[in-house]
Amino acid sequence: MAHIPGPDPEVVDLPAGRLRGAIENGVAVFRAVPYALPPVGELRWRPAQPHPGWSGTRDATADGPSAPQMYMEGGDPVLGGHGSPPFDEDCLTLNVWTPAAPAAPTTPEAPAPDAAPRPVLVWIHGGGFVSGSGSLPNYSGETFARDGDLVVVSVNYRIGSLGYLGLDAEDGGCNHWLTDQLAALRWVRENIAAFGGDPDAVTVAGQSGGAMSTAALAGHPQARGLMRRVILQSPPFGLDLPDPEGCRERTDAYLEIAGAKTVEELRALPWPALIGATGGLFALTTRWGYWPTPFLPVIDGAAVARHPVESLLHGAAADIDVMIGWTREEANFGFALDPGHAAATREQVTDRIADTFGGEAAPAVYAAYERARPGARPADVLMDLITDELFRVPAVRLAERRAESGRPVWAYQFDLPTPALGGRLGAAHCLELPFVFANFDRWSHAPFLAGLAPATRDGLAHTMHEAWIAFVRTGDPNHPAMPQWDPYEKDTRTTMRFDSVVAALGDLAGPSRRLHDSAGRAGAQGAGAGGAADQE
């Protein structure tokens, strides 16, 4: 039965026990709700276990600790920080926002209906698999709950060494993070009706690493029936994910850095020592011209049977509604402010291109990128290459393959550049987030938003926010305040461009798609690179 708020809209009764939340700006909020046992002690590096519940009324008015992670005092120069204390291993909780008014107006003649369960949006935060929190103010579900009449859930889950190390292959392997997220989705299925949500109308959305997680969940056998739609914001589908042997090698390197000879010794270390060792693994695994990823999902043939991008093409996931998008200059987030990459030479970038396309094709590929951006410096070519490799081209290939199978997706590119930091970031990774959530007041700490014209900023935020709401509610992102947005079909390749002027364009990513498809083949064959460049 749907929860119809009454005299105490901040109180709900669940099978696990009673919760008391709070009313914030007209929205009922329930914070730090446990969905699994704390993964501490012997449960560290074990699959998530069901929570037994509690007696009495549990206070749900304050955020719980976020997953342990590296923390930079004062924040970083782009986001201003992506996780803040307190941190603790006892972090497997979620937050729920639900409208504090009935779904339909009430009058003496028309009392509140015991019906109309609301669509549900589940948010999975990103953060390179090492940072972030579902409790961050910028990921508050308040705007979606209020503006879209939705029930919104944000999830905390294990990240970094606690989520991705492979210590007990027979007991969860390397993908402990995935057991957390599956447990959270099962919790939503079993409990969301108490908050007025419809368990049969769940959309799972995530950005960056959270989008990779969302794709992995969509194709997981245990998630069958737990979601109807997914929104994939900047999924790094171009990452080369390790197999179990690769996971073991990285785990062995981490053990050495942490000074532990056995799993038992590692289990005995306090979590701050585990997080401290993460810095050493960053240093060990970082390569020039590549996004640093010391921890990654592992294709183990069980929890993650195939690359998450493949999971959206097979089985039950093939019938899930999909929205996917990227920002025009994703890689600027990680590289534009780094002196070692900003000063890249043509020779360095050509060598980096050769890693992907082969040495014979590399000069022609460099020239194609240079032509596509008049006045491009070598650093610009490098960042466009990384954007294409990690984000744009793999996303477009997914759209192409789903279109071929008759299951099109809704595709977009976020193009609005930020003037912050001398304009060096462009339309960087993460920049679309405050527009999607339409909550710039929660992003006041983020340097990358400085200088955006309020009228342009707010107008685009309204367009995107309402499109996301429409997709969650209906599977179609169209609404009256935007141009017609058609699915990505093989003959039209419609892609919505979100910029100061919003427009639906055909084959917006065509140059990148053709370059990587044609030049990639040419590089593999060791011939024909010039023809690939000529297609630009």
Give domain status of residue 408, yes or no: yes
Which residues, other chains included, contact 268 with Cβ-Cβ below 8 Å and sequence gap of 6+?
none
Residue 166 has what pLDDT?
A: 82
248 vs 212, residue with greater confidence = 212
Residue 518 has what pLDDT?
A: 76
Report pTM. 0.94
Per-residue tokens: 52: 């037994």
Contact 485, 411 (CB under 8 A): no
Give domain status of residue 403, yes or no: yes
Give domain status of residue 535, yes or no: yes
pLDDT range class, residue 116, cuts 50, 70, 90: confident
pLDDT range class, residue 420, cuts 50, 70, 90: very high
**Mean pLDDT calculated for residue range 83-95:** 96
Q: Is the pLDDT of residue 6 over 70?
A: no
The percentage of residues in the chain with a pLDDT greater than 70, rounded to a whole number, is 92
Spatial CA neighbour of 248 closest among 162, 161, 169, 306? 169
Domain count of the chain?
1
Give domain status of residue 182, yes or no: no
pLDDT in tens, 299-317: 998 889 999 999 999 877 8
Ranges assigned E (strand) in 39-156: 57-59, 93-99, 118-124, 151-155
How many residues belong to the chain?
536
Percentages helix, strand, coil for the chain, rounded to the nearest 5?
Answer: 40, 15, 45
pLDDT in tens, 269-305: 999 999 999 999 999 999 999 999 999 999 998 889 9
- Give residue for tokens 């989705």: 185
Residue 521 has what pLDDT?
A: 47
The percentage of residues in the chain with a pLDDT greater than 90, rounded to a whole number, is 85
Whole-number Å distance between alpha carbons of 504 and 462:
17
Contact 432, 498 (CB under 8 A): yes
pLDDT in tens, 159-209: 999 999 987 655 447 899 999 999 999 999 999 999 999 999 999 999 999
Give domain status of residue 513, yes or no: yes
Q: Which domain holds residue 455?
A: 331-429+442-460+489-536
- Phi first, then psi, for residue 321 (nearest 5°) are -70, 135
- Amino acid letter for position 457: R
Give domain status of residue 39, yes or no: no
Give domain status of residue 338, yes or no: yes
Whole-number Å distance between alpha carbons of 391 and 327:
9
Q: Is the pLDDT of residue 148 over 60?
A: yes
The catalytic site residues sit at 208, 330, 429
Instruction: Please tell me whether residue 333 adopts helix, strand or coil conformation.
Output: helix
Contact 19, 29 (CB under 8 A): no
What is the 3-class SS of 208-267, one letter each residue?
CHHHHHHHHHHCCHHHCCCCCEEEEECCCCCCCCCCHHHHHHHHHHHHHHHCCCCHHHHH
- Phi first, then psi, for residue 508 (nearest 5°) are -60, -35
